[in-house]
Chains A and B, each alone.
Chain A
Amino acid sequence: MSGQAQVQLSDVVRRYGGPSGLQALGPVNLEIRSGEFFSIVGPSGCGKSTLLDVAAGLVAPTSGSVRFEGKELHGEVPDGIGVVFQEDASMPWLSVRDNVAFGLRTSGLPKKEVADRVDHAISFMGLAQFAGHYPAQLSGGMRQRVCIARTLVLRPRLILLDEPFGALDQQTRLLMGDELLRLWRETGATVLLITHALDEAAMLSDRVGVMSARPGRFIDMIDTKWPGDRDSRIVSDPKFGALTARLWSSLREESLKTMGRVA
């Protein structure tokens, strides 16, 4: 883990519908170190996904700047970033293997290299048995694994995940969390995870940022100081309970604000 900031958001504000439009996010200041596992939690509608879009370069900030590895982003996704979305982004017309290989279509790599990387990613994500299947034949969890494998083949240095396990049941989620940690350790990539599940953030991350209700700003930043070889069994550590409690105490008021707005 080098000390250099890989991702820098400076005074980022994002509005929809022009200069006097709805402010979804900000101002946000954030620095993520290379190789860090950073999670963001916050009430629904606070702009977490917008933050991810800005960090990825999918969306340009209305004001402020975003930097990835020192270079400023202007609404275009740079090389070296992988994104796993909340919705199922597997392509139903391609087999698992072709889905995973999709990211390398434009890479210009020789066929053998592509095949090697694809095979590696597929077996890494435990999908070797299903390489010839189609997404429609797989469960939700497996489809997300396909999407993660597809991101993996590109060897990204930064992996952004937007509530990737939101549609899964709790037990699958815990196991997928372990998979994510394994992935993080073996690739050495930086991980930015957006989640609404406090326990997930608490057990997986090096650092957790808590966002306020819309417009989202960081109201708390917690260092977990977990060991690098952790997995889901860390729930038995007493610190886990304290962490989750602290997250909730920061978050509860913000969530109530959001509930009032919606209801």
Chain B
Amino acid sequence: MSDLSLETEQATIAVRRRFRGFDAIVLTLVMLALWQAIGSWTQGVAISPPLQTLVYLVSLLRTWMFWDHAAATLEAFCLAFMLSALIGLALGLIFGVRRFAGEVAEPILAGFYTIPKVTLYPVVLLLFGLGMSAKVAFGVMHGLVPVTLFTLGAVRNLPPVLVRTARALRLSPGRTMRWVLVPACLPDIVNGLRISFSLSLLGVLIGEMFSSQRGLGFLLVNGMAQNNVPLSTAIVTVIVAIAIAANTLMLRAGRRFARRPEAVAR
């Protein structure tokens, strides 16, 4: 029964794979066509059509101004993401290991996640003023919780048999951590980091939209204010491209970690 179903399953997968490339191309064309349709129907008032956007984007990438803004966003984002990751991992580990603390903290974190954080923005602005620290604060505000929650979950859901196995093999605590616990938690942690990446970026962009004179978020808002539609469309395209690329990369990385066998004593 077992290898029968496996063989038929492999046959179906092969068939589906054949279509996948074709379907992806069709989908891309459909989305481009939709974009073009909306762009021309609104006569470039809301969004500029793909080709025009591409041309504008190419010329934009040649300007020093663009890269200056991009650097500002990158700087704020890196800081925000790193803070979210480090603090999140630490908190997640603590809350995962110390069960009671985790039990207390988790609903608070989950609750924070469901709040429309946009309503807290004025508070951040009032506390941090305008500029870099507010941007980073926004980013951390958005990116901290996913890492914490996912890490907490990963540590808490470790199968006890792994710890018992490590003890039976008489591994030192360091090795237990490195060879058993960390690899076991890695897939969930990578997932948390992946989500945190997108959210930290979102937070930083929003911060730039509200409280900064530099950055891609500012460019976007500026473009809209000046009715420079190709500019705002180009910026949106850049943001979307970066977000999807990063997300896909991290998804693949996460899958690779999940497939690795538990690294117990070599």
The interface of chain A, by Cβ under 8 A from chain B, is 16-17, 21-22, 24, 44-45, 47-49, 214, 261-262
Contact = CB atoms under 8 A, between A and B. Distances in A.
Given A47-B4, A49-B1, 6 more contacts: A16-B8, A21-B11, A22-B7, A24-B4, A45-B2, A45-B3
A17 B15 CA distance: 12
A93 B203 CA distance: 41
B1 A45 contact: yes
Contacts of B3: 45, 261-262
Nearest to A24: B4
Interface of B: 1-4, 7-8, 11
Nearest to B15: A17
A22 B2 contact: no
A214 B2 CA distance: 11
Most buried by A among B1, B7, B8, B11: B1
B4 A45 contact: yes
Contacts of B11: 17, 21
B5 to A, nearest CB: 9
Contacts of B2: 44-45, 262
Contacts of B1: 44-45, 47-49
13 contacts: A16-B4, A17-B11, A21-B11, A24-B4, A44-B2, A45-B2, A45-B3, A47-B1, A48-B1, A49-B1, A214-B4, A262-B2, A262-B3
Contact of B8 (A22, A44, A261, A262): A22
A22 B3 CA distance: 11
Contacts of A47: 1, 4
A261 B4 CA distance: 11
Nearest to B12: A17
A82 to B, nearest CB: 21
Contacts of B8: 16-17, 22
A261 B3 CA distance: 9
Contacts of A49: 1
A167 B4 CA distance: 20
Contacts of A21: 11
Contacts of A16: 4, 8
B14 to A, nearest CB: 11
Contacts of A22: 4, 7-8
The 4 closest A-B pairs by CB, nearest first: A16-B8, A45-B3, A45-B1, A45-B4
